[in-house]
Amino acid sequence: MNRSFRTLFCVVGSVIVVACGGAGPSNQQKASQGLPEQKVVDSTIRQIDFKSMSYPFTEAEPGPLWDAPSSSETITLKNGDYRFPDGGYLSFVSVTYGDLNGDGKEEAAVDLLHGTGGTQNWHYLYVFAKREGHAAFISRFVSGSRAYGGLTRVAINANRLIVDLQDEERRQGDCCSLGFVRVTYRLEGSSFREAGPRTKDSYRITFYPLYVGDPGTVQPSADGNIVFIDSTRKQHPLTSYSK
């Protein structure tokens, strides 16, 4: 592999970076800033394989709302995926752990993405406790679809479930929003109640420098291509991408 190609590979891999939320604390750390640390003594629910288990399931229209699907109707994920006969799907996204009722035992909030087979999709957030070695279903949160209240982050801290939903008022088309609404819920028995005021914020988007122009380097150019900068600072295109 020649030197120019190695340099090009390193620049593409390290310079072109766009990230919602920016580089820094994790989603759960961001959601928990300013909240007291909680002590958990039992985390055995982490032994459950949520990518390969059955979930109570009835189809729901996009929320945001809490519901309780019938336990008599279930779907079973296999390796984090389920396909409906009509072409839709249900896919594992993540699982968030934390103590929701202050008993020192962790609960699990499992995020599953439900898609129609087209562009519309929304999240089903299943909350479980561990009882007698098994996952015991508590309740389910249904998010909105994409920019209309779509789920973007989940955290559990200080006995609260915290969700970030895309802010419909700041949407940019149907897919995305420039901001989010943070909602906090408290578990009361087998139901969740909203706790505290809703807050709004903007997504942090970090762009690394696109063009430095030092002689003898390979850099992204302003039009999105990769160029080599010679000793006279003249640009020599290495790609020919056009918008």
- The pLDDT tens digits of the residues spanning 71-117 come to 889 999 999 999 999 889 999 999 999 999 999 999 999 999 999 88
Query: What pLDDT is stored for residue 241 in this prediction?
Result: 57
DSSP bridge partners of 135: 130
Mean pLDDT across 210-225: 63
Rounded CA-CA distance 191/243 in Å is 50
What region, left, alpha or beta, does residue 225 occupy, with left being phi > 0 and alpha being psi -120 to 50 degrees?
Answer: beta
pLDDT score at 70: 83
Model confidence pTM above 0.85: no
The two three-digit tokens of residue 142, written as one number? 């249904």
Instruction: Please report the pLDDT score of residue 11 as a whole number.
Output: 35
Residue 35 pLDDT > 60: no
Q: Mean pLDDT for the chain?
A: 81
Query: pLDDT (tens digit, 9 = 90+) per residue, 159-171?
Result: 999 999 999 999 9
Identify which has the larger pLDDT, 218 or 64.
64
Position 137 scores a pLDDT of 96
Q: What is the pLDDT of residue 124?
A: 98
Using the predicted structure, report yes or no on whether residue 130 has a pLDDT greater than 80. yes
pLDDT at residue 145 greater than cutoff 80: yes
Compute the C-alpha angle 23/19/146, nearest 5°: 130
| pLDDT surpasses 80 at 6 | no
Query: Phi and psi of 230, rounded to 5°?
Result: -85, -175
What share of the chain in percent tops pLDDT 70? 75
Are 98 and 104 within 8 A, CB to CB?
no
User: Residues 172-195: what's their mean pLDDT?
Assistant: 94
* Whole-number pLDDT of residue 223: 59
Q: What is the mean pLDDT of residues 21-37?
A: 46
Confidence bin at 41 (pLDDT 50/70/90): low
Confidence class of residue 17 from pLDDT cuts 50, 70 and 90? very low
**Span 196-208, mean pLDDT?**
77
Confidence of residue 237 (pLDDT cuts 50, 70, 90): confident
